[in-house]
Amino acid sequence: MKTKRTSPLMSSSQQMVSSYLPDECWEYIFKFIIMDDNNNDGNNNTCYLNSLSLVSKRFLSITNRLLFSLTVNKELTYFHIFERSLNTSHLFLIAECFPLLEQLDLSYPSGCKNHSSYVDGIEALSLALTKLRKVKLSGFPINNQSLFHLFNNCRYLEEVILSWCDEITSVGLASALRERPTLTSLSLSISGFNPEYRQVFTTSHFIDSLMSLTGLSCLVLHNLKISDELLFAIAREVSTYPTFGSRIYDFLKDQHVVELSSFLVDLVSINLSCCRELTKSALFTLAKNCPSLSEIKMEKIGGKVVGNSDSLVDFGVYPQLKSLYLGKNSWLSDKIITKFASIFPNLPLLDLNNCKRISEGICQVLRKCGRIKHLNLAYCSRVKLLGMNFAVPNLEVLNLSHTTVDDETLYLISKNCCGLLQLSLKFAKGITKKGLKHVVENCTQLIVHGYVTDEYFDRAMLKA
């Protein structure tokens, strides 16, 4: 006689209740369990669902229907998820098992080559995942037809990331955009291996379709050589974009920024990293013409000198700027960053990673920008903080990885940065346990990350 096997996690009475209640009731109970009106960030929900799914196969089936996020990437496939590759049958399975998904990440799956073979799977996903709001398809084999299905059927779609999706053309993207005018965030980039392909996103049809997205709040165009017509259309018709990300290599010049900035008065964030024709003049133009601008990213821009450092005082003071990313700019010197500190005195975040010419000038920056909370000086091989003989009470995060700081510097940090919460010292040369001990004893909430004599230290290990 065969007996029905039961889960060791369930008693006989629990089995009777489980078999009696319909799935709809269990689904309602699970929703009640994971509900947290005061702190619903999604992480606790996932933990609850994972625990419930272990009880029985039936509970696993029910909890699958309550998932709101699914990520399928190269790391997961390494652990034999989807047999280390992703095929169209897996897309049908996702569509069937997770109908309530709001976020889907299919970035960089392995073993995906034939774009046309995934059309039916993407269409099935778009029809089943009616609540989908965010999708990441970086490196996924998606073509124009699949993209159209996605935009046409997912009526709540808000955010789309398409990186290295070279089968998508301007015509295909334009048609898809027309189907989803409620899109709020679009990120598009191509591999750039074919220089001719970079020219296609300049047609009037594509521009008109992009301009039809009246609710767009974030636009990233990466590795695309776009036309003046598109840039001016963006500035003219969508001047209320809170965020404008445009990483266009060897294209934008200072004059472009001057002309664009006069339209973007409500701009709050801009990313112009790797625009090698830009100079520091563009930075001040943005600060002057965009009064709402609070974040500027201009890493690895041009090194051409425009005027001298003394002329920077003519640009005025812009206290509205809160985050400034200037990493990998070899032209940044002590004199220039000291002037920057006078022009942007209210910076809570300053990122100067890989700026090799910065040395003692960083102390003047800390003195003038008393509100700095996050300072990144990683790979600044010449940086010196021995002149920091004053209190820096607001500094919370300091990255000195791959620098030449020593124990004396750590003593000054421990004495003057009492509010420090995180200190990164990975591969920092010249420090010992003695210097680290000074920091930990004086900065009582600090966590130290780094390598000293080939040992890894954090607060617990230092106390031990």
Q: 171 or 243, which is more confident?
A: 171
Asked if pLDDT for residue 321 goes beyond 50, the answer is yes
- Residue of 337, 328, 331 whose CA lies nearest to 361: 337
CA dihedral of residues 141, 143, 145, 151 (deg, nearest 10): 80
pLDDT tens-place string over residues 91-126: 898 888 888 888 998 888 876 666 677 899 999 999
Amino acid at 369: C
Asked if pLDDT for residue 336 goes beyond 90, the answer is yes
Asked if pLDDT for residue 195 goes beyond 70, the answer is no
Which pLDDT band holds residue 453 (cuts at 50, 70, 90)? very low
State the pLDDT at residue 135.
93
* Category of 316 on φ-ψ map: left (φ > 0), alpha (ψ -120 to 50) or beta: left
pLDDT tens-place string over residues 5-40: 444 444 444 444 445 677 777 776 766 665 544 344
C-alpha atoms less than 13 angstroms from C-alpha of 416 in its C-beta half-sphere: 19
pLDDT tens-place string over residues 153-164: 999 999 999 888
- What are residue 245's phi and psi, to 5 degrees? -110, 120
> In which element (H, E) is residue 448 found?
strand 447-452
Asked if pLDDT for residue 404 goes beyond 50, the answer is yes
State the pLDDT at residue 358.
96
Asked if pLDDT for residue 460 goes beyond 70, the answer is no
Write out the CATH class of domain 53-213.
alpha beta
| Cβ partners under 8 Å of residue 13, min gap 6 | none
Residue intervals in the chain for CATH 3.80.10.10:
251-304+316-370
Which pLDDT band holds residue 418 (cuts at 50, 70, 90)? confident
State the pLDDT at residue 229.
77
b/e 169-191 (16+ beta carbons within 10 angstroms → b):
bbebbbbbbbbbeebbbbbbbbe
Q: 359 or 190, which is more confident?
A: 359
Query: How confident is the prediction for the chain on average, in pLDDT?
Result: 77
Percent pLDDT > 90 in the chain is 33
**Cα distance between the two ends of the chain:** 60
Q: 47 or 226, which is more confident?
A: 226
Mean pLDDT computed over 123-138: 92
Which pLDDT band holds residue 375 (cuts at 50, 70, 90)? very high
Q: 186 or 452, which is more confident?
A: 186
Mean pLDDT computed over 208-230: 77
- The CATH homologous superfamily to which domain 251-304+316-370 belongs is Ribonuclease Inhibitor (3.80.10.10)
State the pLDDT at residue 428.
87
| Cβ partners under 8 Å of residue 117, min gap 6 | 87, 88
Q: Is 0.85 surpassed by the pTM of this model?
A: no
CB 381 within 8 A of CB 405: no
State the pLDDT at residue 219.
79
157, two tokens: 């779609």
Going 14 to 17 to 19 to 22, the CA torsion angle's sign is negative
